Structure 1
Amino acid sequence: MAKTTKNDIDGHVDRLTIPFEHLRRKDVALVGGKNASLGEMIGTLAAEGISVPPGFATTSQAYWQFVKYNGIQDKIASLIAEWQSGRARLDYTGHSIRDLFLRGRWPSGIADEIKRGYRDMEAQLGVEGLSVAVRSSATAEDLPDASFAGQQESYLNISGVDKLLHACKSCYASLFTDRALGYRQAKGFDHLRIALSIGVQRMVRSDTSGSGIMFSIDTESGFDKIVLINASWGLGENIVQGNVNPDEYRVFKPLLHDDSFEPIIEKKRGDKSTKLIYGNGDSATRNVPASKAEQAAFTLSDREILQLSRWACTIEKHYGCPMDIEWAKDGLTNELFLVQARPETVHSNRDMCGEFKTYEVTNKGRVLTSGLSIGDAAVSGQLCLIEGKHDLDKFVTGSVLVAKVTDPDWVPLMKRAVAIVTDQGGRTSHAAIVSRELGLPAIVGTGDATYTLHSGQNVTVSCAEGEHGFVYEGKSKIVTRTLDISSLPPVNTKIMINLANPGAASRWWRLPVDGIGLARMEFVISNAIRIHPMALVHYERLKDVKAKNEIAKLTSGYGHKPDYFVEQLSRGFAALCSTVYPKPAILRLSDFKTNEYSDLIGGSEFEPKEENPMLGFRGASRYYSPHYRDGFALECRAIKRLREKMGFTNAIVMVPFCRTVHEANEVLKVMAENGLVRGEKGLQVYVMCEIPSNVILAAQFARHFDGFSIGSNDLTQLTLGVDRDSAELGDLFDEQDEAVKWMIDRVIRVAHENGCKVGICGQAPSDHPEFAAFLVNSGIDSISVSPDSYVPVRNAMAGVQSRK
């Protein structure tokens, strides 16, 4: 990084301090990336409604004057040369250089300028003894290819000119923390040609409210249509340092332009066990326990989540790249502010086209602990538990690092790990940020890793199963596949994908699919909701005390318990719909069997015992039955909320296991009673074609539905009379049997004659490319396959087209 020149700073060359409003992002060489960005937002985005606290920055010219005035340039050079040659340790070098700054004296001109800037702020805001944040902004940080996150220090709740000058000197010294020296060395920056600017900014009273970090991109998958927000009570340092497990919110950007929509696709409450507040006496800040009420509540309201998300979109559009943004809420005025914005540096620099890898973990041992997954890889290795900084030298290279929390001093050690597991932290914690930058799988916020794990254990760390990461006992089998989407052949038949897990859906966003052909409601219910819907509707009459207590815990914060089901289901479906929006996403209504429904919390009190659940009380027959009608109403409410409140009008409803035309009428009538009227507001309703009667009476079913989706597994089972789960009859279960193919060919023809679309969502096209060829030749409109089968199926279909 070149030293500041007159051209670089465009007329500000002799200035020692500059108010933020006079700075722009071109002034990085003058005031560093952080302060230049603050000036850019204040000067150009205030008209867009974005609020940034006022302040001023010292310039690189002030830094060089301080270095020259104290005669420490040559001493710094000598100390660094000794370290680089191996004659001195890093910790000795860092300490010695920092001591040079801390023992230095302020040139009167710089000190006077800082005092004047501070007093001008006091006068402008009408506050004597104004509390400010003092932050470091190096001229080589917040660059598109190097974040320098956490390398220099920040000082909060600084009041009075004497404390301000001391904090500013400490900022200068922090340019040479051990971690900053190591980071610059690894990135190839010249330590002697980088200056440090200091940002002095009015404190936002987030100590009485909350603060956090947000990204205008999904931090794990790189999905560019998501805003990710982390939030916790108090000042924001705890989130950055990973000292708390914060709330997490995800918002879908393309629907934010319409104020009538609330596209919050995920709200996850963290425990937020501590909060950083203003200190007393000699301490500027202190950590205190959060109250139980604070831990049980969300930090932000829905309105505030949406406001921050819109700000993130505005900033991203202005800067032209994904952004990493810090925010704070003033508890005295209830105002939201942005206090930092920098380019996101991990996914922004990745090739989003071409090849990407997927990981599958099999032969899993028991789950030892779990938390938030960082990245999407999996790795096996031996654990090495590090209790604290005093144990850093005990780490074994090539091990899985287990720690309570990490900070920038741990980076050299983290580079030697194969994976990282921490007790605390969210997706924006230090451990998460560094793991992404290093390309390591990590699991953060486990809560108990350092308690349940021990050094020497063989484990598998899996981040390949969605938003939750798992540490499995023993070394599992890990299958790595490479999908190359850079030169896929064109096909005429649409290819969709089958998805079930909302937490893993975004990993497939780069596949050029034509939509989601099957999204299973029962996966969302069993994994995210876990409660039988009728147990929520009739909570007061439950006899099972244990189930009642579990439901009370899961639904805490919901005054009306059925709202828990509606909100969780709609958000789970929204996560799926968002990955393909505005392309269609076909959402299948619940299709549990009675034995599966019984396994849900509270379910045993509402389900009959059946000899053959596969052919029993399932699918469409439940929706109009008095035994489940109230539960189905919640499913309808969730889809209505998804489409009309959240804005995902690409959602198509699909009715499973509809045995008769009479049932079709009954289901559509009940749906209409619950606000889902086929044809209104663009709502389409499909039917699963999985029973011979759906084929035999296809023309009549076509009058009631907009499309058919062939479920080849059940259709094969019922056409051939073979239990697909029977080991004895395994050889007879064949989706390519001539009788099954006749059924499929017929329903395609009849559906098209009646103006209906037809797709298939069974596994057969994924397993058998020749079956996909049969479907193409029959004229099917779409084939829906498992995501990892997309590339081979597409190649097979292209081959069929070339031979036609």
Structure 2
Amino acid sequence: MVESDGAWVIWFEALRRRDVPRVGGKNASLGEMVGELGAKGVKVPPGFATSAEAYRRFVEANGLERTIAGALGDLEAGKATLAETGQAIRRAFLRGEWPEELAEAIRAAYRELCRRRGRDDADVAVRSSATAEDLPDASFAGQQETYLNIRGERALLAACRRCYASLFTDRAISYRQAKGFDHMKLALSVGVQAMVRSDLGGAGVMFSIDTETGFERLVLINAAWGLGENVVQGAVDPDEYEVFKPLLADASLTPIIEKKRGEKARKMIYTSEADSPTRNVPTSKAERAAFVLDDAEILTLSRWACTIEAHYGCPMDMEWARDGESGELFIVQARPETVQSRREAGALKSYRIGKTGRRLAKGLSIGDAVVAGKVCVIESAHDIARFVEGSVLVTSTTDPDWVPIMKRAAAIVTDHGGRTSHAAIVSRELGLPAVVGTGDATRLLHDEQEVTVSCAEGDEGFVYEGTADFSVEELDLAAIPATRTKVMLNLANPAAAFRWWRLPCDGVGLARMEFVINNQIKVHPMALVRYGELEDPEARARVDALTAGYGDRTEYFVDRLARALARIAAAHHPAPVIVRMSDFKTNEYANLIGGAQFEPKEENPMLGFRGASRYYSPRYREGFALECRAIRRLRQEIGLKNVIVMIPFCRSTREADRVLAVMAENGLKRGEDGLEVYVMCEIPSNVILAGDFAERFDGFSIGSNDLTQLTLGVDRDSEALAELFDEQDAAVKWMIRSVIGEAHKAGAKVGLCGQAPSDHPEFAEFLVGCGIDSMSVSPDSFIAVKRHVAEAEAEPQKAGRAGQA
């Protein structure tokens, strides 16, 4: 007979992390949180765990060792398939009888839990916790079963028996074989936890790290209505929230840098049927249109994530639930994150995609790779056998039964699911690019179709027709030299902001607001301010669709712009991030939704109503006020005060004064609350009157394209004059050298944001010789420019001569 070294049942409060051999990783972690983190405000539902010895007692009492060993032996010898082996072992478990002393221990603990909850037949969650799960080098997430809304002693014992059987699902057997775990040495603990009535509220998953890039200063939360299984399984497209951890300690701030509303088409609720205690139902239109969590709840969960991460000393993967009856939030599971935390920190692969075919589908990108291959559409797990190895797996959603073929796929594309869905989690662990939540990939793509799956373009992933041009470069971060001259990044796309957080840059020298407006907001700001005057019915309809859920249409612009820029600012905090206010030309503004009505037609928009001249003009002043509101929210409410504002195309000091006055009227006063304001140096007057401009601005950013165009009188877009457009022309260099010297005399800083230092090492040498403070370049050329600058600084005499040239 098995000798028990303790109770068959242990309450969570008596367990700690060290008890993994007794109760598995999941239950040991629940005990750790109940015992150690409750005093710090983290709420965990009460419950108890059966011990590993209880599992061994059940196995012994039913003579299952021989059944298990025999079935696994047949599998290894090729006498039985994986499916036949798993089915035989599970059937034997489900036929097993409970030893009376073990059954009574579970019943007694359940009765005590009911007493603590103050109700008969309390509803509980019954979760599996294997003694080898969630180790640093392996994740067993989702391999064993969970049963929700279990009521009564008979139903509880049946659910516990099913948990034992789930130790031998096909996927679990396969995974242990791949990882080299001995099946016979494992045991399974069952966690019995009071249910959170999230069927009446909401639930989801939370990570204390960015799951795609490993950015460590982020909390990522997914949320859906009802019980949380739909989020874990990827059966719904959830809400997604991102929170910047370093600012959470300040209660006056709301550092939520992303809020995406998911479709949330269904929710899992309770039923009164004993055999099927839960079921999925469609959500209402109101539920689909609303966020599951409000800002206070997002911040509470995020602070708990930080508390849990600090206690465990590593990034964490957590599940949470909100009780619809009490409104309380709870953490129902926590385990170490096992993908990004193991990623090699010293290397960074950079994928670049060039010419592509037609875009066929888009969704959330998982990973950052690009893969080309043939499509294999499989909509049902019953058809798994026909999967073609090395294909792009296209399916509606995945669950743990799909893992064996996911391992054989080149990439994965799903109709449903978010960043914390099963498909996303497994893809990360396998190192496969995946595009999840496309909505209709199984309808749009077909077998043997040649496609390219791209996850190299930020948060959104794309499926392109045919084989695209792409390349991959391995960047050795340890080999990047240090420089006195700051080398910064030019960034426009907030979706890709976290991709480059590991680069040792000195901040962002140019974040282009117009990119965000064009790609994420899409609406002309004046069409929001003066919506009542909007004449185009199609434009009105598109504005209505985009601003749904916002009581004030202008708030749509402010909210989306502030959060998009916040992702760029957070990725490099506390280093400076210079945000250039909108610099569309009139023809570009006119292309925004509703824009044609508010823009004049110009023969030469390049030299027309653009930049600073718009900000104080009656034509756009109210639109600029929205831009200012977004920056004010970004700095004051979200808390990212590393943001510097930059004014483009400022033709005169009189214009500078007018713009600064309008900014101050809108709560952005230079010098107040640490606000710095820069000016683009792209017009000869900026150079000629550099000292006067330096009295009004804290720094200059040389826009070498426009400065070259206006210095040489060459249209930079003219093919006929292409040979004359030269940023290294002596006249352009004179301009650059002059403005650096005059600005430094006045105590202002000078940087350059342009492509020339990337394309021409001698130009970087020239800038170092002139004593420039910073250069801002695209991420893919950062390392090359950093090396050019280091070489120039190492030979000051040569750089000095270049600066005089």
Query: What's the TM-score, normalizing by structure 1?
Result: 0.98
- Paired position in structure 2 for 1:287: 280
Deviations 1:24-70, CA, capped at 9 Å, x for gaps? 01100000000000000000000110000000000001011111111
For 1:340, the equivalent position in structure 2 comes to 333
- 1:784 aligns to what SS in structure 2? strand
Residue type at the aligned position of 1:775:
L
Amino acid paired to 1:94: G
Q: Which amino acid aligns with 1:479?
A: S
Deviations 1:776-800 (A, max 9, x none): 1100001111011111111111111
User: Which residue of 35, 44, 48 corresponds with 1:43?
Assistant: 35
Q: How far 1:280 sits from its partner (Å)? A: 2.5
Say if 1:484 and 1:791, in contact at 8 Å, map to a contact too: no
Instruction: Say if 2:679 is the partner of 1:687.
Output: yes
1:508 corresponding residue in structure 2: 500
Q: Matched residues in 2 for 1:387 and 1:167: separation?
A: 29
**2:801 — aligned with what?**
none
1:182 aligns with 2:174: yes
Question: How far off is 1:203 after superposition?
Answer: 0.3
Q: 2:6 & 2:784 partners in 1: Cα distance?
A: 63
Partner of residue 628, structure 1: 620
Amino acid at match of 1:563: E
The DSSP-based 3-state class of the residue aligned with 1:486 is helix
The answer on 1:351 being equivalent to 2:344 is yes
Secondary structure of residue in 2 paired with 1:206: coil
1:538 aligns with 2:542: no
1:462-515 residue CA offsets vs partner (Å, 9 max, x unmatched): 100000001111111111122111122221101110000000010000001110
Q: Secondary structure at the match of 2:268?
A: strand
Work out the CA distance in 1 between the residues paired with 2:572 and 2:761. 24
User: Residues 399-456 of structure 1: CA distance to partner in whole angstroms, max 9, x if unpaired?
Assistant: 1010011111111101111100000000000100000000000000000000111111
Please state how far the C-alpha of 1:245 moved relative to its aligned partner.
Answer: 0.4
Is contact 1:60–1:197 with CA below 8 Å preserved after alignment?
Answer: yes
State yes or no: 1:88 paired with 2:45: no
Is contact 1:374-1:443 (8 Å) kept?
yes
Q: Aligned equivalents of 1:75 and 1:417: distance in 2? A: 33
Distance in 1 (CA, whole Å) between partners of 2:612 and 2:36 is 56
SS of alignment partner, residue 310 of structure 2: helix
Which residue number in structure 1 is paired with residue 546 of structure 2? 554
Instruction: Report the RMSD for the aligned CA atoms in angstroms.
Output: 0.9
Q: CA deviation at 1:582?
A: 0.5
Task: Verify: 1:235 aligned to 2:233, yes or no.
Answer: no
8 Å Cα contact 1:223/1:506 also seen in 2: yes
Letter in 2 for 1:324: D
The one-letter code sitting in structure 2 at the alignment partner of 1:528 is: Q
**Shift of residue 802 of structure 1?**
1.6
Aligned residue in 2 for 1:574: 566
Contact 1:642/1:648, CA 8 A, preserved across alignment: yes
307, 314, 321: which one aligns with 1:314: 307
Structure 2 counterpart of 1:72: 64
C-alpha distance in structure 1 between counterparts of 2:324 and 2:227, whole Å:
11
SS in 1 for 2:360: strand
Verify: 1:323 aligned to 2:308, yes or no. no
Q: What are the superposed Cα offsets for residues 187-246 of structure 1, whole Å, 9 maximum, x if unpaired?
A: 111111000000000000000010000000000000001100000000011111111000
Structure 2 residue matching 1:595: 3-state secondary structure: helix
SS of 2:116's equivalent in the other structure is: helix
> How far is 1:769 from its partner?
1.5
State the one-letter code of the partner of 2:340.
H
Q: Partner of 2:120 in structure 1?
A: 128
Match of 1:274 in 2: 266
Q: How does 1:709-748 map onto structure 2 within 5 Å? A: 709-748=701-740
CA-to-aligned-CA distance 1:508-550 (integer Å, 9 cap, x gap): 0000111000000001101111100000001111111111011
Following TM superposition, where does structure 1 have runs of at least 4 consecutive aligned residues deviating by more than 4 angstroms?
A: none
The reply on whether 1:210 has 2:202 as its aligned counterpart is yes
Q: Which residue of 1 aligns with 2:800?
A: none
Letter in 2 for 1:644: Q
How far apart are residue 313 of structure 1 and its match? 0.4
Q: Distance in 1 between matches of 2:667 and 2:5?
A: 66
Alignment of 1:45-194 (within 5 A): 45-194=37-186
SS in 2 for 1:579: helix
Matches within 5 A, 1:355-434: 355-434=347-426
Q: CA deviation at 1:13?
A: 2.5
1:440 alignment partner, SS class:
coil
Percent identity of equivalent pairs: 65
Equivalent in the alignment of 2:448: 456
Alpha-carbon shift at residue 168 of structure 1 (Å)? 0.2
* Residue number among 564, 567, 579 corresponding to 2:556 in the alignment: 564
Q: Distance in 2 between matches of 1:19 and 1:605?
A: 68
**How far is 1:362 from its partner?**
1.4
User: Which runs of 5 or more structure 1 residues have no equivalent in the other structure?
Assistant: 7-11
Where 1:228 maps in the other structure, the secondary structure is strand
Equivalent residue, structure 2, for 1:756: 748
Amino acid paired to 1:326: E
Aligned partners of 1:538, 1:280: CA distance in 2, in Å? 53
SS at 2:479 equivalent = coil
Partner of 1:773: 765
Which sits farther off after the overlay, 377-386 or 337-346?
377-386
Counterpart residue identity of residue 756, structure 1: A
Tell me if 1:21 matches 2:13: yes
1:322-348 CA-partner distances (Å, limit 9, x unpaired):
000000000000000000000000011
Shift of 1:85: 2.1
Distance 2:222 2:492 in 1: 25
**Which of the residues 284, 287, 299 maps onto 2:292?**
299
Aligned with 1:523 (options 515, 518, 527): 515
- Letter matched to residue 446 of structure 2: H
Q: Is the 8 A contact 1:661 1:700 kept in 2?
A: yes
Q: Does 1:445 align with 2:437?
A: yes
Q: Distance in 2 between matches of 1:743 and 1:652?
A: 24
Tell me the TM-score normalised to structure 2 length. Answer: 0.98
Question: How far apart are the structure 1 equivalents of 2:418 and 2:714?
Answer: 48
Deviation readout 1:155-193 (Å, 9 max, x if unpaired):
000000000000000000000000000111111111110
SS in 2 for 1:271: coil
TM superposition shift of 1:81: 1.3
Letter in 2 for 1:654: M
In 2, distance between residues paired with 1:85 and 1:503? Answer: 50
**1:7-18 to 2 correspondences below 5 Å:** 13-18=5-10
- Counterpart of 2:515, as a letter, is F
* Partner SS state of residue 174, structure 2: helix
